[in-house]
Amino acid sequence: MANFVYKKVDALVFGLFSPEIIKKMACAKIVTPELYDKEGFPVDGGLMDVRLGVIDPGIRCKTCGGSLKECMGHFGYMDLARPLIHIKYADVILTTLRATCRECGKVLTDTKIKIEVEEETPAPVVTAASEEEIVLPPLPTVEEPVKKETKSSKNIKKCLHCNAKQFTIKLEKPTTYLEDEKKLTPIDIHTRLLRITDEDLEKLGLDPKYARPDWMVLTILPVPPVTIRPSITLETGERSEDDLTHKLGDIVRINQRLFENINAGAPEIIVEDLWELLQYHVTTYFDNEISQVPPARHRSGQALKTLTERIKSKEGRFRHNLAGKRVNFAARTVISPDSKLELYEVGVPFSVAMELTIPERVTEWNIKHLKKFVENGPQKYPGSNYVLRPDGKKKKITEETHEQLLEELQPGYIVERHLMDGDIAVFNRQPSLHRMSIMAHKIKVLHGKSFRLNPSVCNPYAADFDGDEMNLHIPQTEEARAEAEILMQVQTQIITPKNGLNIIGCSTDSITGNYLLTKNMEFPKEDAIQILHTIGVYNQERFEKFKKNVTGKEIFSVLLPEDFNFVGQTKNKKPFIVKEGILIEGHLDKATIGEEKGELIRALYAQYGQDIGIDLLGKIFRLGLEALLRNGFTTTIADTDLPTEIAEKCKETIYNAERRVAQLIEQYQNKELESLPGLSIEDTVEVKILDTLNKARSRVGEIITEISDENNPTIIMAVSGAKGNLLNLAMMAACVGQQAMRGKRIENGYRHRTLSVFTKGELLPKAKGFIKMGYKDGLGPEEFFMNAITGRDSLMDTALRTPKSGYLYRRLSSALQDIKVAYDGTVRDANENIVQFIYGEDGLDVSKTEGGKINVTRIVKEIVGEK
């Protein structure tokens, strides 16, 4: 086995390069703006100098001899003809200049103030310089103390040390410094900053080891390696240079011109102009988005992307490349449902299974087994794509190589074989809002081109099948596979840590099916056994106990373990009792097997553990579907037909409400209405009308419930909790009701009415968005319009909410990401500062509880016996 050297980065230290270091680490001095000569070779001393690294394949680096992949590039440097201000440090230079004497470079303040500053901001950083004098607290944090120093020294007109007169220094953005209205050149600034002693710098809150202010005035400019600014060869053979190279080219050109002019003794004005131009180029080289500075542009007019823009924002280095990385061994395709799969499985198409691989090490025990994969090669399933030799060489299996590879295969080799049933994969759907958005599944290789998953796991992923795509990752090491299997598999994630309820459960059809099955279905013995066989239950003992006709309750009971006792409630608060594995009373519905609410699911899970729990859940799910399949189930528009008397009753209710509203309006107009406390008359009548109309709508809903026909599929779905509710039914069958915006009826526009068909100041229900028709009967034009208003409003709400909540989530996660439970049970952040002494005040993990609690009642009842 190879002897790995595991390197660990222990810490990073930030600081500035001194001119000496820049020179020392440089491999080339850049003197010419030309990039290539006539033959197309990089010019020596140009920006693409071969000593700066390799960007073309097949060429070796002139400095280190490495090839494209090995050489990471080398810095160059260029001497600047005149010193320049580093734009990012313009403010620091200003404060430093203000805080020190213009003659002697000492800090313009007395010791008393200094101590005050240091006491106020005890800083976390310990430097080598301050270690000797332990009495003093270490350096204060950055800018603050500098500012304070200047504040206290602002009024000091004379240096305390050399009595030199001081003037006010101003920074004219971006890079011009004025002392008493006279311009300070970078040369002056540089000499002044050089005078400041290391000791004084510490007083200013700067670390002289890492950030001497004179380094902030550039006298020499490092030229980054070509590897960070590679050029692209276009199809035409033309080379297109990186933005940075362009910018550096400008700098070199102007710099050389400046040199020439100075040496030729050109007039001061010309030198100054060039100097300023060079300052502009260097400024935009660092940051091209500074206010007051026009951004440097391409010929096409597009602003160049220089150093700061490379780092900044979502597309910048940090968030795009460093905090989020691209991976290999991943696949993405459309998902589709397959209820015959187990919940913890994922169907993977052959095309994916033959592309993604799992590395398997050859040993003397599995060599025969693995040879088969090599023999099959990449074209035949199950085969393999690559073989890794012990020396690290990777060999692709092809027609030519596979004979030879087969022969040389021996223990120590690694075979990258195709995916097979039972392999572990990590499955994910974006947006990954919680940990259940990435779960581990067992692979099941299937025909077709989409990923298949059990509809029950849609809820945690928030997936549906209207074209959603999902990602699949294959863990490549034993450790990763073990972690995925133990910590991430679907059965470990049934209970969400959000509130301790089951995020996975039955939904829609399977609830309807189970509801009907356990309520009133009956099957001949043969059918019952067939149903159970289809869902994967082969309990011969129980089958033998079946009578000629088997009820749905009995069929369901076969699934349950024989020692299972459970007392719960159905959705409509009727008892649901399981005794010794037999469903005695009640029926299944959303409250027992549904998502979030399924008490039965949680009880099974708590009592029998993950594996049996998920197995049972899968079976219950399929049982529901199978029951529906045998009986047939559909919902039609006729479901919303109301018997004439009921329809009459509804109409009457609405008519009465309208009359009542009319009365209210009349009272209001006659000023007979008494205002409610704290409300104006106008508001009072609004509140009363809204109240009346809402009551009428609820009454209509109630009337419809009264008739609720037990065999009406729409009602069955509503009652069982599979989908929809009775209010939805009322909206379809009888009356849509008041359209409300911000808790009020639709408000008038500028012309005192909602629509021009109404008279001005109209208060009648229909003029303010009351829809008295049901969806089936159809809405009137003005009703339709009102309905569209609220519809549009809710669309807007969603569109605005998504980015807001996304940002909240990002802030929360970056604020809390490092906080963990320590070994002593306390909650601590990354630097071991205690946040809580015990998590959640009782140390419980929400995802291991039942709704955030430990179910004492169940245990007591179990031991004492039911009372």
Partner 1 sequence: MTTLPEHLQKELEEHFKKFKPNEKQKQEITKRIETLYEDAKIAPGEAIGIITAESFGEPSTQMTISSFHFAGVAEMNVTVGLVRLIEVFDARKKPSTPQMKLPLKAKYSKTSEMVKEVSMKIKETKLGDITEEISINVAKGSIEIILDKKKMRDTDIKLSHILTRLKESFKTLTLKELKDSISLKGKDEIKLSELYKLKEKAKTIHIAGLKGITQVLPIKDDDGYVIHTAGSNIEDALAMEEVDKSKITSNDVFEIAKVLGIEAARKAIINESLKVIKDQGLDIDIRHIIFLADVMTRGGVIKGVTRTGITGEKESVLARASFETPMKHIINATLIGERDDLNSVVENVIINQPVPLGTGLPGLVMKSNKK
Is residue 739 near partner 1 by the rule CB under 8 A?
A: no
User: What span, in angstroms and rounded, lies between the C-alpha atoms of 537 and 543?
Assistant: 10
**Cβ of residue 750: shortest distance to partner 1, in angstroms?**
20
654 touches 735 (CB < 8 A) = yes
User: What span, in angstroms and rounded, lies between the C-alpha atoms of 550 and 627?
Assistant: 13
CB nearer to partner 1: pick between 253 and 435: 435
304 touches 298 (CB < 8 A) = yes
Is residue 131 near partner 1 by the rule CB under 8 A?
A: no
439 touches 446 (CB < 8 A) = no
Is residue 795 near partner 1 by the rule CB under 8 A?
A: no
Listed residue (435, 485, 471, 467) closest to 352, CA to CA: 471
User: What span, in angstroms and rounded, lies between the C-alpha atoms of 644 and 5?
Assistant: 84
Contacts to partner 1 from residues 190-229, by CB under 8 A: 205-207, 209-211
* Concatenated DSSP letters of 419-464: P-TT-EEEEE-SS--SGGGEEEEEEEEESSSSEEE-GGGHHHHT--
Q: Which stretch binds partner 1 (CB under 8 A): 135-143, 343-351, 375-383, 635-643?
A: 135-143
Is residue 363 near partner 1 by the rule CB under 8 A?
A: no
| Residue from 749, 761, 780, 825 in contact with partner 1 (CB under 8 A) | 825
* Concatenated DSSP letters of 278-318: HHHHHHHHH-S--TTSPPPB-TTSPBP--HHHHHSSTTSII
Is residue 372 near partner 1 by the rule CB under 8 A?
A: no
- Report which DSSP code applies to 330: E
Contacts to partner 1 from residues 428-457, by CB under 8 A: 433-435
What are phi and psi for residue 730, nearest 5 degrees? -60, -35
User: What span, in angstroms and rounded, lies between the C-alpha atoms of 438 and 637?
Assistant: 39
CB nearer to partner 1: pick between 4 and 750: 4
847 touches 497 (CB < 8 A) = yes
**Cβ of residue 797: shortest distance to partner 1, in angstroms?**
5
**Torsion on CA atoms 191, 195, 199, 203, rounded to nearest 10:** -60
CB nearer to partner 1: pick between 308 and 714: 308
CB nearer to partner 1: pick between 452 and 697: 697
Is residue 127 near partner 1 by the rule CB under 8 A?
A: yes
In sequence order, the β-bridge partners of residue 444 are 347
Q: Which two tokens stand for residue 763?
A: 């208060």
CB nearer to partner 1: pick between 141 and 530: 141
| Residue from 30, 94, 139, 550 in contact with partner 1 (CB under 8 A) | 139
Tell me the per-residue interface mask from 564 to 603 with partner 1, x by CB under 8 A, - otherwise.
Answer: --------------------------------x-------
User: What span, in angstroms and rounded, lies between the C-alpha atoms of 627 and 532?
Assistant: 10
**Cβ of residue 412: shortest distance to partner 1, in angstroms?**
16
**Cβ of residue 145: shortest distance to partner 1, in angstroms?**
10
**Torsion on CA atoms 19, 21, 24, 29, rounded to nearest 10:** -40
Q: Which stretch binds partner 1 (CB under 8 A): 307-315, 349-357, 367-375, 466-474?
A: 307-315
Is residue 269 near partner 1 by the rule CB under 8 A?
A: no
Is residue 485 near partner 1 by the rule CB under 8 A?
A: no
CB nearer to partner 1: pick between 643 and 840: 840
Is residue 2 near partner 1 by the rule CB under 8 A?
A: no
Q: Which stretch binds partner 1 (CB under 8 A): 327-335, 561-569, 615-623, 736-744?
A: 736-744
**Cβ of residue 307: shortest distance to partner 1, in angstroms?**
9
Provide the pairing of β-strand 575-579 with 582-585.
antiparallel
Tell me the per-residue interface mask from 414 to 433 with partner 1, x by CB under 8 A, - otherwise.
Answer: -------------------x
Tell me the per-residue interface mask from 81 to 120 with partner 1, x by CB under 8 A, - otherwise.
Answer: -------xx--x----------------------------
**Whole-number Cα distances in Å, 525 to 542, 543, 545, 626:** 12, 8, 10, 15
Listed residue (268, 425, 419, 428) closest to 356, CA to CA: 419
- 339 three-class SS: coil
Is residue 743 near partner 1 by the rule CB under 8 A?
A: yes
Q: Give 749-817 as a 3 state SS string.
A: CCCCCCCCCCCCCCCCHHHHCEECCCCCCCCCHHHHHHHHHHHHHHHHHHHHHHHHHHHHHHHHHHHHC
Contacts to partner 1 from residues 502-561, by CB under 8 A: none
Is residue 500 near partner 1 by the rule CB under 8 A?
A: yes
Is residue 25 near partner 1 by the rule CB under 8 A?
A: no
| Residue from 392, 677, 778, 781 in contact with partner 1 (CB under 8 A) | 677
Q: Which stretch binds partner 1 (CB under 8 A): 646-654, 698-706, 708-716, 737-745?
A: 737-745
Is residue 327 near partner 1 by the rule CB under 8 A?
A: no
| Residue from 252, 457, 501, 625 in contact with partner 1 (CB under 8 A) | 501
| Residue from 14, 365, 538, 750 in contact with partner 1 (CB under 8 A) | 14
